[in-house]
Amino acid sequence: MTSALHTRAEQLGVQVGYHDVTGTLHVAEDAPLEQVVAILEADRATVAATRRVAAAMHFATAGPIAVEARVSEASLTIEGRPHDLSVRHGNDHDSIDLPGDLPLGCHLVEFVSDAGPGETVLVVAPSAMPRDDRFAGSGSLFAPTYALWEHDRPLPSFAHLHDLARLAHGNGIDVVSTLPLYATFLDDPFDPSPYSPVSRLHWNEVYLDDTGLPPAPVPPMGDIIDWRILAERRRRQLVDAVGRLTPARRDELTAFATAHPDIGAYARFRAGRDANGDLTVEQSHVLAQFLAHRELAAITDDPNASALALDLPVGSHPAGYEAWADPSMFAPRVDVGAPPDSFFADGQNWGFPPPLPAAMHASGHRLWRRLIERVGTFADILRIDHAMAVHRLWWVPDGFSATQGGYVRYPRDEILAVIAASAAAAGVTIVGEDLGTVPTEVSEAFDRWGVLGMYEEQFHLDDDPLPHIPARTVAGIRTHDMEPIAELVATADTADYRRRLGEAHACHIDDRWDDVVEQMLIRLTWSDAYQVTADLDDLIGERRPHNLPGRVEPGLWSRRLDHPTSETLTDPDVRRRLALLARRHDRGDIDTGDIGDDGERSDDDTARSST
């Protein structure tokens, strides 16, 4: 049974065994493997039951589109406008000819034949993953949007993100990055994690600016955000706002919902979960997305604001919109997770359903296209979390532990082509989160496509000598899942790392967080990395984490800055550290000695970081 099961599993794209970080081979158990095989068999059978006379996807480099039917007319839609295509009739199939000047992107080809109407997603992909030259050699500042506030505006909002972008721009920082801004469940179920969103197509209404809504009492704000209270308050404001809509604003909302059909569906989904979910509640969710689009666009359109880098989670909440709106795209009775490793001996179950390989292909990878199109409306850079998902995901069937899961492969080059085409059309630079152990196939695919990866200095504190920082990366001190540098320096022995870094910079580095952070920044900024990013927490000496992976504790994903955003970014010490990031474009100004309050070096030491 095992031999036949393994053979069939491999035919369906299941990796029946894997090697862990120690090189030990783990082979999938029969019982969970049988369940995964049954799901994948059903996925293929469902797709095969729908007769197609043309491929679900067609790459422009392959030439004309073959249709196994008699085609009477065909058209290509580009940016919402249809264009007629010529058809050549053949003995065994017809061919739809394609124009030679196709714009990059994923376009819909529709046709009418004697077998009925049909369509194909035409993929016009660039030769490499899009990368904006404007940000080559740039500096980026990271901060969670919920952490930002001012004395007169204490609630988290897109407006504070806009303020941060303007302040960063004024300090010479090219890009501001933040955690995912998508809607989350803040009632029942309650899950404030930005990496478990209700939807990766729709924005979090709690971040709407208060000034555009009916007035409401502002709750006391401490160090930690009470998401439930803010969510309840925002819901009341939005429902109240619907009752005050002018005829002109109602017309705007109608036009907005018509232009974005998924938003109307999302509003119905959210209203359907609400005990009081009437038409007013439904309209309040449309209004929330309308306002979110307007407020995010204000950042994007501001010439005096830094560009935005946003984050795309690997999945969404199992009770969320995506599985509700398109259930045929997701595997039933199985969750995505990760196998055991040195951090999680029992593996991980992340709780959301994986996409079905055959169904996703048959849709022309519709969800990937929509996700990138939506975020590309406002972001110049998109970081794809757990980018190895384009290659494989760890499936954990119901009734089994995460240790009993198995890897299911996906058509990585096909997905990467769709991502590249969609990103090129949206004008967004793609960064793939590729930290940790990366399969050779993924590294080779990312090399072929020129995908920007990530480098985090904190992963390499024990490396001797200091490692080279790859050019094709966004390089930082750490990720949001790692402990702040101030905490690390206070609790861990960094003497060897400080010695190696000091030797490279020809200076002595004291056992102080600020000295370590500044020398880390100098090393990063003098590297060849495409972009260097710094967490605002590391620039101010914060010791509390944003998140502790695998743990649910008060304060995670909800901690505010100790001081208002404007005060934080005008602090002389913070400005001095920001100057290191800002001067990547003119590295001759950066030395490794002490930095004066104006951002200039105060001594004649001209040693350079070795990278």
Environment class of 105 (CB within 10 Å of its CB; exposed 0-12, middle 13-18, buried 19+):
buried
CA dist., res. 574 & res. 562, Å (int): 14
CA distances from 550 to 317, 387, 477, 597 (A): 16, 19, 22, 40
Q: What is the pLDDT of residue 22?
A: 84
103 belongs to a structural domain = yes
104 belongs to a structural domain = yes
Closest CA to 280 of 213, 215, 235: 235
The pTM for the full model equals 0.94
**Residues 6 or more apart from 483 whose CB is under 8 A from it?**
545
Tell me how many domains the chain contains: 1
CA distances from 184 to 311, 318, 336 (A): 14, 12, 19
pLDDT per 10-residue tile (average), the chain, 611 residues = 91 95 91 98 97 97 97 94 96 96 97 97 98 96 98 98 98 98 96 96 98 95 96 98 97 96 98 94 98 98 98 97 97 96 88 97 98 97 97 97 97 98 98 91 96 98 97 98 97 98 98 98 96 98 92 88 98 97 65 40 30 33
State the DSSP string of 439-460.
-HHHHHHHHHHT-BEEEEGGGG
CB 469 within 8 A of CB 528: yes
The enclosing domain of 119 has a CATH number of 2.60.40
318 belongs to a structural domain = no
Q: What is the pLDDT of residue 551?
A: 77
193 belongs to a structural domain = no
Terminal alpha carbon distance of the chain: 53
CB 265 within 8 A of CB 244: no
536 belongs to a structural domain = no
Within 10 angstroms of residue 500's Cβ, the number of other Cβ atoms is: 18
Question: What tens digit of pLDDT does each residue of 460-508 get?
Answer: 999 999 999 999 999 999 999 999 999 999 999 999 999 999 999 999 9
82 belongs to a structural domain = yes
CA dist., res. 122 & res. 109, Å (int): 7
379 belongs to a structural domain = no
109 belongs to a structural domain = yes
User: Helix count (H) and strand count (E) of the chain?
Assistant: 18, 25
Q: What is the pLDDT of residue 1?
A: 59
Q: What is the pLDDT of residue 586?
A: 60
Q: What is the pLDDT of residue 608?
A: 26
Domain hosting 100: range is: 57-124
Dihedral, 307, 288, 143, 160 alpha carbons, nearest 10: 80
Q: What is the pLDDT of residue 343?
A: 77
